[in-house]
């Protein structure tokens, strides 16, 4: 049963960044400003988490400040998209390139390092042993012992499931995407909603990045997000904007990422195991397309003339 | 504004206004270009200053490095060849409404195909060997993109995500090939056998890396320009990209146009990968692509998928990248400067209309509208 | 005859000298009119006359450049819709401001949701909604999904929305465009009731027949200025049209022409199609059209007309049945093959389907010429010199006002865009022409021109199918009219032997007299 524990335990661990990023992207899906730059936001979060952690030697500072930076960046991004009318797809692609290039740039210019930034003074997010739950046979060890951020993501899912019907905010977010004119004439603030959604998205992606760098490995490597942002994007699209479905899909992707850890190199070469989440996402994409009727959530690609 | 007295414009009148319209659009576009480039320059100066180096001399060094003498120019051009081919390939697909973000994967696949054909077949007459490598790369790239395009056309699978995911799958697969079955035993893991000399383009200028591949690239640029902007096939692809319902309505076979454009796009990306092997590295190794595919996507977006502007921006970007290397050599500013620049440039180019409107209050009509924005209400 | 007030009443809304510019375009110039309490005041004008801009100013979506707007005697200058609604001004838009996936209750309370600290108190919301419904005498299920409601119900919801917020001045923008004659009667009944209870209504429309039925006064706009305000009882449609167009020779009646019917050109047999998202499916539709004949397909949108148009041109597949042009079966033929057999199509959404809206004018015109170029010819120049002069000639023959053939189609006015589509389709000398809502959003001058072109085509033996939700258009132009309801043909009448009322009954689904073929 060690295998089982390792697989599901790893699965939950791998799910967290995907889930956080997806919950961030969800709001932008509701406002129909789908942010395809989740990858870029995440890698910035990972980098700044390690950088602030190194300087402050406190994981709490790292988490809080990185999130704050995320919110600020999200506000700027939201302003660019909502007020300056830059196409959100273009902005997202630019964000991804900026993330990849920018983190390498900062790594070299601030730390003089190529490849990986690590060290003894990089704090890691502590694992929490849940008092009662860890006693449960079989499931206990799987559910307990994860980082604070993992548990936070679970709480967030529950909160959002309630918030969809219990808050005005979510109503307005959805209205601003589905029929902005209706919201505007009803006195709501459409651009305010759009900017808020981006700020939320960046904040959660920053957290996802911090979980990746400080929570799992206590270091930063160039390109460490390796496509997780796109997997999260796929989850957002498959879930058609529904929170429970989103959580399940993220967990599915998390498990398929764990496959590469659990399956040893003798059975199949490591690269094939690493392919699992992407292949799963691809298959999911095909199923999603074949079972959709008409109004599937298409990524808002720009009309080339109106850039 | 009354249309009641609708009469056609007199022929002289028509030509005048057609030319003045053209002149106005040229002025707007060059204004936009200068705005963007000036912003880029300012950003560069600021970043260099932030590192503690003197901005203007450093930038000057960079320009010298990239354009200072024929050797530099040749070196700069050599770097830009694969990017150029990939970018026009991506632009071709974008024009048809097919957002091929999988250029990166197709480049890797093409590089691998060329490396295999170049190393395991032959040696033979150079022209033939190169042709085989290029064709193999084009076929594999075209096949991959074609399948993804088919999935979009027939099954409605969103090609943005599918091409994105395909990148990772292909790169991993190629990494597997380079670390196990096709690995060169004399070299570190992840490198394949060197290709035969007959599978390499001849050097034009020694020590610059500029090879005869440049002629191929020029021919491809011309051919793709003609195809996209002038030919009837290109017309069908453009109309499909502009409005698929219009295209279907007038009898264009939309599915065929979508798949065709993807195949050509993938083939070009594959050729770009082949160039990386046959005009540069001489073998496949795991980081051979190093972001060329992503750069191609970004440049195609900046160039609005029009072939000539895209080629123009490839030149600008290549000079920037080359210049950034030059800057890195004389200061500690990393060469990734060019990546930061190009990402910011595209944002600023896209935001120009918005900034103008905010600052001056004019040009509301230039502002793009959102879906659901009835009567421009939001 | 112009306005002669019989008694002096303080107007509830007074607009004086309002001007608004957008860059170099003057949308409103010195507009003045007033609205009395309890009045239904119609605002008419062609497309581009400035009605929309004026309404947006009144409603707070737009700020005027100069002039004054007084509500109950005090000056107002709305900067956003919420300010307008606070003063009791509410607008019922032509394209509804309803979020389709939300419930009735959620739409009604959007923006004014009860609840503290961001929480949404659904119970309080439901209570206030039920209370409003009772007060206004409109019944609807608060939990119903708006996207599933009928168009007429959605419109009632729109009205309820603004009344729920206390609007006493209602602005209605082309409300009858989407209603059957009977639903229009219902709406008018509601409006009269509201007027009696103290609301004042501005009614924007281009349908003069209805304006004369419902309005107390009529204000005419032309080219951005007010021309005149008429008392409805003191004027007639001809005078109003003359004011709208500045011409006195506009023919609003039936377009007479020589009727030389030939053989059957288009034959549709038991056509059935699967139901798509926003329309009805088709069920065993059958009819025939002869050369030189104009057959109208009437019916309220959503009863299958769009699907019929697409099934005819071939952009959607048939589930059953057959289509034949001059005897050649085409059910399995592609769009291209059908066009080769002489089929031409003017789609209902010209900006999406009729033209490449961001593309060049020439790109919109040459589509037909390039259609059959295949293989090597596909690599040839799409726009050679010969095509250039052909396009030039087309532009002048169809009086398309454009600075040139290289400009974007989006820079043309609605009427010129439609003329472009018609030009392209007619140049192919079709044997069968299908038009869907061809004059929607098109000014009177262009409408006249397009009708002339259609008639000329019939003189050349073309069979014409005219799908239109505008009954006046059907009555003016067609030889026969078929009514569609629920995806089926429910009536087949000779146009001159039937009346609007009878057709209206068919459009509602009530069977009257002769049924479908």
Residue with tokens 């696949």: B109
In a domain, A286, yes or no: yes
In a domain, A132, yes or no: no
Calculate what percentage of chain A has a pLDDT beyond 70. Answer: 94
- Residue B175: closest CA among chain A residues belongs to which residue? A271
C361 in the same domain as C290: no
SS3 B21: helix
In contact, A191 and A45? CB cutoff 8 Å: no
C461 in the same domain as C420: no
Give the minimum alpha-carbon distance from B138 to chain C in angstroms, rounded to a whole number.
20
C276 in the same domain as C400: no
- pLDDT interval class at B374 (50, 70, 90): very low
In contact, C16 and C214? CB cutoff 8 Å: no
Which chain B positions have a beta carbon within 8 Å of C223's beta carbon?
Answer: 1-2
C275 in the same domain as C395: no
Question: CATH number, domain at C322?
Answer: 3.40.50.300
C442 in the same domain as C415: no
pLDDT of residue B25: 65
Beta bridge partners of B375: none
Pairing of strands A220-221, B203-205: unpaired
In a domain, C80, yes or no: yes
C409 in the same domain as C362: yes
Which chain A positions have a beta carbon within 8 Å of B347's beta carbon?
Answer: 80, 86, 90-91, 94
* CA–CA gap between residue A179 and residue A188 (Å, rounded): 12
Question: CATH number, domain at A190?
Answer: 1.10.3470
C282 in the same domain as C133: no
CB contact under 8 A, A184 and B377: yes
pLDDT of residue B367: 55
What's the rounded mean pLDDT across residues A92-104?
Answer: 92
* A234 at B interface, C-beta within 8 A: yes
In a domain, C376, yes or no: no
Residue with tokens 């037909």: C368
A 168-227 residues with CB below 8 A of C? 168-169, 171-172, 174-175, 178-179, 181-188
In a domain, C375, yes or no: no
The secondary element (H helix, E strand) that includes residue A111 is: helix A88-111
C422 in the same domain as C309: no
CB contact under 8 A, A304 and B305: yes
**Which of C204, C229, C245 is the last residue before a domain boundary?**
C245
What is the extent of the structural domain holding A261? 2-117+148-294
In a domain, A205, yes or no: yes
For the segment C119-176, what is each residue's pLDDT rounded down to a tens digit? Answer: 888 888 888 888 888 877 778 888 889 988 888 888 889 888 888 888 889 999 888 8
* A269 at B interface, C-beta within 8 A: yes
**Which of C389, C407, C427 is the last residue before a domain boundary?**
C427
Residue with tokens 């290709």: B195
What's the rounded mean pLDDT across residues B189-196?
Answer: 76
pLDDT of residue A300: 58
CB contact under 8 A, C99 and A175: yes
**Which of C226, C245, C264 is the last residue before a domain boundary?**
C245
Size of interface A-B (CB pairs under 8 A): 185
Taking alpha carbons only, the member of C243, C254, C69, C237 closest to residue C169 is: C69
- Residue A165: closest CA among chain C residues belongs to which residue? C120
pLDDT of residue A133: 72
Taking alpha carbons only, the member of A246, A271, A305 closest to residue A30 is: A246
* CA–CA gap between residue B323 and residue B309 (Å, rounded): 21
Which chain A positions have a beta carbon within 8 Å of B168's beta carbon?
Answer: 226-227, 230, 275, 278
In a domain, A136, yes or no: no
pLDDT exceeds 90 at position A243 = yes
* A155 at B interface, C-beta within 8 A: no
Give the minimum alpha-carbon distance from C124 to chain B in angstroms, rounded to a whole number.
29
pLDDT exceeds 70 at position C56 = yes
- pLDDT interval class at A302 (50, 70, 90): low
User: Which of the 8 DSSP states describes residue B288?
Assistant: S
Calculate what percentage of chain B has a pLDDT beyond 90. Answer: 36
What is the extent of the structural domain holding C82? 13-245
Number of domains in chain A: 1
pLDDT exceeds 70 at position B10 = no
pLDDT of residue C300: 80
Residues contacting A61, CB < 8 A, separation 6+: A52, A53
Give the minimum alpha-carbon distance from A289 to chain C in angstroms, rounded to a whole number.
16
In a domain, C168, yes or no: yes
- ipTM of the complex as predicted: 0.86
In a domain, A128, yes or no: no
pLDDT of residue A305: 53
* B73 at A interface, C-beta within 8 A: no
In a domain, A198, yes or no: yes
User: Which of the 8 DSSP states describes residue B280?
Assistant: I
C44 in the same domain as C18: yes
CA angle A122, A127, A132 (to 5 degrees): 170
CB contact under 8 A, C403 and B14: yes
Average pLDDT of the residues of chain A: 87
C267 in the same domain as C226: no
pLDDT of residue B365: 47
- pLDDT interval class at A269 (50, 70, 90): confident
In contact, C44 and C22? CB cutoff 8 Å: no
pLDDT of residue C278: 66
pLDDT exceeds 90 at position C436 = yes
- Higher pLDDT among residues C338 and C446, named by residue: C338
In a domain, A123, yes or no: no
SS3 A36: coil
In a domain, A91, yes or no: yes
CB contact under 8 A, B350 and A90: yes
Give the minimum alpha-carbon distance from B11 to chain C in angstroms, rounded to a whole number.
9
Number of domains in chain C: 3
Taking alpha carbons only, the member of C393, C398, C391 closest to residue C449 is: C398
CB contact under 8 A, B354 and A85: yes
Task: Report residue B199 as tokens.
Answer: 């599978």
What's the rounded mean pLDDT across residues B137-150?
Answer: 96
C267 in the same domain as C149: no
CA angle C441, C447, C452 (to 5 degrees): 155
* C354 at B interface, C-beta within 8 A: yes
* CA–CA gap between residue C35 and residue C13 (Å, rounded): 5
- Residue C337: closest CA among chain B residues belongs to which residue? B251
For the segment C167-212, what is each residue's pLDDT rounded down to a tens digit? Answer: 889 999 888 877 877 888 889 998 998 899 889 999 998 788 889 9
- pLDDT interval class at A244 (50, 70, 90): very high
C420 in the same domain as C435: no
Residue with tokens 């990209």: B241
Beta bridge partners of C437: none
CB contact under 8 A, B368 and A85: yes
Which chain C positions have a beta carbon within 8 Å of B3's beta carbon?
Answer: 48, 401, 413, 415-416, 443, 445-446
Task: Report residue A32 as tokens.
Answer: 């129909």
Name the CA radius of gyration of chain C, rounded.
Answer: 25
Exposure b/e, C459-476, CB count within 10 A at least 16 = b: eebbbbbbbbbbbebbbb
Task: Report residue C54 as tokens.
Answer: 């004026």
CA angle B6, B12, B18 (to 5 degrees): 80
In contact, A63 and A207? CB cutoff 8 Å: yes
Question: Phi and psi of C466, rounded to 5°?
Answer: -115, 105
Instruction: Enter the pTM of the model.
Output: 0.86
Calculate what percentage of chain C has a pLDDT beyond 90. Answer: 28
In a domain, C7, yes or no: no
Which chain C positions have a beta carbon within 8 Å of B243's beta carbon?
Answer: 352-353, 355-357
Taking alpha carbons only, the member of C212, C167, C244, C224 closest to residue C22 is: C224
Average pLDDT of the residues of chain C: 86
Chain C touching partners, 3 or more CB pairs below 8 A: A, B
In contact, C311 and C331? CB cutoff 8 Å: no
B 261-320 residues with CB below 8 A of A? 291, 294-295, 297-298, 301, 304-306
């Amino acid at each position: 049963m060690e295998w089982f524990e390792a697989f599901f335990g790893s699965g939950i661990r791998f799910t967290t960044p995907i889930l956080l990023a997806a919950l961030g992207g969800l709001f932008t899906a509701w406002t129909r400003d789908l942010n395809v730059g989740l990858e870029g936001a995440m890698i910035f979060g990972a980098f700044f988490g390690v950088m602030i952690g190194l300087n402050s030697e406190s994981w709490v500072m790292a988490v809080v400040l990185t999130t704050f930076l995320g919110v600020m960046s999200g506000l700027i991004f939201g302003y660019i998209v909502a007020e300056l009318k830059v196409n959100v797809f273009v902005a997202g692609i630019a964000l991804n390139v900026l993330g990849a290039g920018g983190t390498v740039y900062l790594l070299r210019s601030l730390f003089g390092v190529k490849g990986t930034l690590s060290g003894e003074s990089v704090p890691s997010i502590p694992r929490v042993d849940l008092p009662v739950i860890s006693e449960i046979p079989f499931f206990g060890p799987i559910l307990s012992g994860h980082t604070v951020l993992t548990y936070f993501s679970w709480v967030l899912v529950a909160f959002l499931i309630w918030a969809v019907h219990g808050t005005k905010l979510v109503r307005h977010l959805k209205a601003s995407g589905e029929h902005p004119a209706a919201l505007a004439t009803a006195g709501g603030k459409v651009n305010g909603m759009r900017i808020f959604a981006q700020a939320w998205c960046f904040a959660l992606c920053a957290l996802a990045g911090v979980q990746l760098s400080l929570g799992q490995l206590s270091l930063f490597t160039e390109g460490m997000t390796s496509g997780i942002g796109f997997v999260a994007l796929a989850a957002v699209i498959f879930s058609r904007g529904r929170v429970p479905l989103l959580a399940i899909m993220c967990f599915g992707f998390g498990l398929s990422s764990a496959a590469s850890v659990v399956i040893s190199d003798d059975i199949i070469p490591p690269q094939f195991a690493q392919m699992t989440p992407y292949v799963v996402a691809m298959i999911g994409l095909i199923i999603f397309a074949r079972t959709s009727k008409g109004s599937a959530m298409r990524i808002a690609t720009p009309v080339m003339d109106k850039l | 504004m009354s249309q009641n007295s609708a009469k056609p414009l007199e022929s002289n009148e028509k030509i005048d206004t057609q030319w003045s319209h053209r002149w106005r659009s040229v002025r707007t576009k060059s204004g936009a270009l200068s705005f963007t480039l000036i912003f880029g320059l300012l950003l560069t100066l600021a970043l260099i200053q932030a590192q503690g180096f003197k901005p203007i001399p450093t930038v000057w060094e960079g320009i010298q490095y990239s354009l200072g003498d024929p050797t530099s120019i040749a070196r700069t051009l050599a770097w830009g060849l694969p990017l150029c081919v990939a970018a026009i390939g991506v632009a071709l697909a974008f024009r048809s409404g097919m957002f091929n973000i999988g250029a990166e994967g197709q480049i890797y696949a093409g590089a691998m195909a060329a490396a295999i054909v170049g190393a395991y077949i032959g040696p033979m007459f150079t022209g033939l060997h190169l042709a085989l490598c290029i064709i193999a790369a084009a076929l594999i790239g075209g096949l991959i993109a074609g399948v993804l395009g088919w999935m979009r056309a027939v099954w409605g699978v969103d090609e943005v995500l599918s091409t994105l995911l395909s990148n990772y799958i292909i790169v991993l697969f190629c990494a597997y090939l380079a670390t196990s079955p096709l690995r060169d035993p004399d070299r570190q893991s992840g490198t394949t056998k060197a290709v035969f000399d007959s599978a390499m383009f001849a050097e034009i200028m020694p020590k610059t890396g500029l090879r005869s591949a440049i002629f191929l690239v020029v021919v491809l640029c011309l051919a793709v320009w003609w195809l996209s902007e002038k030919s009837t096939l290109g017309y069908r692809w453009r109309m499909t990209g502009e409005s698929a319902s219009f295209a279907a309505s007038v009898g264009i076979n939309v599915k065929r146009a979508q798949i065709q454009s993807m195949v050509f796009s993938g083939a070009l990306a594959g050729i770009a990968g082949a160039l990386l092997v046959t005009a540069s590295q001489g073998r496949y190794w795991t980081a051979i692509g190093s972001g060329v595919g992503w750069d191609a996507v970004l440049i195609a977006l900046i160039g609005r998928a029009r072939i000539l502007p895209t080629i123009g921006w490839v030149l600008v970007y290549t000079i920037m990248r080359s210049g950034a290397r030059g800057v890195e050599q004389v200061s500690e500013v990393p060469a990734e400067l060019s990546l930061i620049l190009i990402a910011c440039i595209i944002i600023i180019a896209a935001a120009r209309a918005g900034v103008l409107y905010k600052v001056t209050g004019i040009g509301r009509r230039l502002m793009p509208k959102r879906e659901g924005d009835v009567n421009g209400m939001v | 005859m112009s306005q002669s007030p019989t008694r002096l009443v303080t107007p509830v809304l007074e607009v004086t000298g309002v001007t608004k510019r957008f860059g170099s375009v003057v949308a409103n110039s010195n507009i003045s009119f007033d609205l009395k309490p309890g009045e239904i005041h119609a605002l008419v004008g062609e497309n581009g006359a400035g009605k929309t801009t004026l309404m947006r100013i009144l409603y707070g979506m737009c700020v005027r450049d100069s002039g004054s707007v007084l509500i109950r005697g005090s000056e107002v200058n709305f900067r956003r819709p919420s300010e307008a609604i606070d003063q009791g001004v509410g607008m019922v838009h032509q394209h509804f401001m309803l979020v389709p996936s939300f419930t009735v209750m959620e739409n009604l309370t959007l923006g004014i949701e009860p609840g503290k600290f961001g929480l949404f108190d659904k119970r309080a919301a439901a209570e206030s909604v039920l209370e409003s419904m009772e007060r206004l005498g409109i019944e609807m299920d608060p939990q119903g999904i708006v996207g599933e409601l009928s168009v007429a119900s959605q419109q009632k919801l729109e009205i309820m929305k603004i009344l729920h917020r206390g609007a006493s001045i209602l602005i209605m923008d082309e409300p009858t465009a989407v209603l059957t004659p009977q639903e229009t009667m219902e709406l008018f009944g509601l409006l009269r009731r509201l007027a009696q209870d103290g609301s004042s209504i501005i009614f924007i429309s281009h349908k003069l027949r209805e304006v004369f039925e419902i309005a107390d006064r009529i204000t005419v706009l032309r080219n951005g200025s007010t021309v005149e305000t008429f008392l409805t009882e003191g004027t007639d449609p001809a005078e109003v049209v003359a004011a709208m167009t500045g011409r006195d020779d506009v023919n609003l009646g039936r377009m007479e022409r020589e009727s030389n019917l030939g053989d059957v050109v288009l034959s549709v047999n038991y056509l059935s199609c699967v139901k798509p998202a926003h329309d009805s499916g088709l069920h065993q539709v059958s009819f025939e059209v002869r050369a030189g004949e104009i057959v109208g397909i009437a019916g309220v949108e959503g009863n299958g007309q769009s699907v019929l148009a697409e099934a005819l041109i071939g952009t959607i597949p048939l589930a059953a049945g057959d289509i034949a042009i001059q005897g050649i079966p085409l059910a399995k033929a592609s769009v291209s093959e059908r066009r080769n057999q002489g089929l031409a199509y003017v789609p209902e959404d010209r900006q999406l389907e009729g033209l490449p809206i961001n593309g060049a004018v020439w790109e919109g015109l040459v589509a037909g010429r390039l259609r059959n170029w295949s293989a090597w010819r596909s690599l040839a120049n799409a726009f050679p010199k010969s095509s250039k002069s052909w396009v030039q000639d087309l532009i002048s023959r169809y009086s398309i006002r454009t600075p040139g053939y290289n400009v974007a189609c989006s820079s043309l006015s609605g009427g010129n865009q439609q003329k472009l589509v018609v030009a392209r389709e007619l140049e192919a000398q079709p044997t069968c022409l299908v038009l869907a809502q061809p004059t929607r959003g098109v000014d009177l001058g262009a409408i006249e021109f397009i009708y002339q072109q259609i008639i000329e085509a019939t003189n050349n033996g073309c069979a014409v199918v005219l799908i239109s939700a505008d009954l006046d258009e059907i009555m003016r132009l067609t030889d026969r009219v078929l009514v569609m309801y629920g995806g089926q043909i429910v009536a087949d009448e000779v146009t001159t032997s039937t009346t609007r009322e009878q057709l209206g009954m068919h459009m509602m689904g009530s069977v009257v007299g002769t049924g479908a073929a």
